[in-house]
Amino acid sequence: MKRLPLVDYLVLDESPHLVANECTNCGARYFDRRNACAGCGLQGFKPVRIADTGTLRSFSIVHFAAEGVKVPFVAGIVDCEGTSVRGNIVNVPPDPEHVSLGMKVRLTTVPVGTDASGVEAVGYGFEPVS
């Protein structure tokens, strides 16, 4: 089955991971394409692999979403060794008894859907480290 990443910065290989664009001058990291760094204004970037594990720094339990989106779910901000990554916290009940600030998490892939020709779209999330 062919798999396609939902976002350009998700690499689907033997060890799925995220890749950011790092400013070669100041080290600021971005997941989107940039013409210039928002931190220093220079235009040099290099791709860098982001750590697969991190610490949950902020989260919200979402109860209302667009039609077709299953709720509740946990939206979070994860510190992956100095790089802030936004992503859903998955494979855990969406309540404060199971999700907490400071919890250790790791990157995981999440199937999003399959088209009529059998191509699977794949997203990412973070799951608790047990």
Average pLDDT, the chain: 96
According to the model, what pLDDT value does residue 84 have? 97
**What share of the chain in percent tops pLDDT 70?**
100
Which structural domain range is residue 53 located in? Answer: 3-128
According to the model, what pLDDT value does residue 1 have? 77
| Tokens at 34, concatenated | 């940039």
Q: What is the pTM of this model?
A: 0.92
The pLDDT tens digits of the residues spanning 28-67 come to 999 998 999 999 999 999 999 999 999 999 999 999 999 9
How big is the CA angle at 34 (ends 28 and 38), to the nearest 5 degrees?
A: 45
81: left (phi over 0), alpha (psi -120 to 50) or beta: left
Tally of domains in the chain: 1
| Tokens at 71, concatenated | 């709720």
Q: Which residue bears the tokens 């949950």?
A: 56
The pLDDT tens digits of the residues spanning 8-22 come to 999 999 999 999 999
How far is it between the farthest Cα atoms of the chain?
A: 45
**What share of the chain in percent tops pLDDT 90?**
96
According to the model, what pLDDT value does residue 130 have? 78
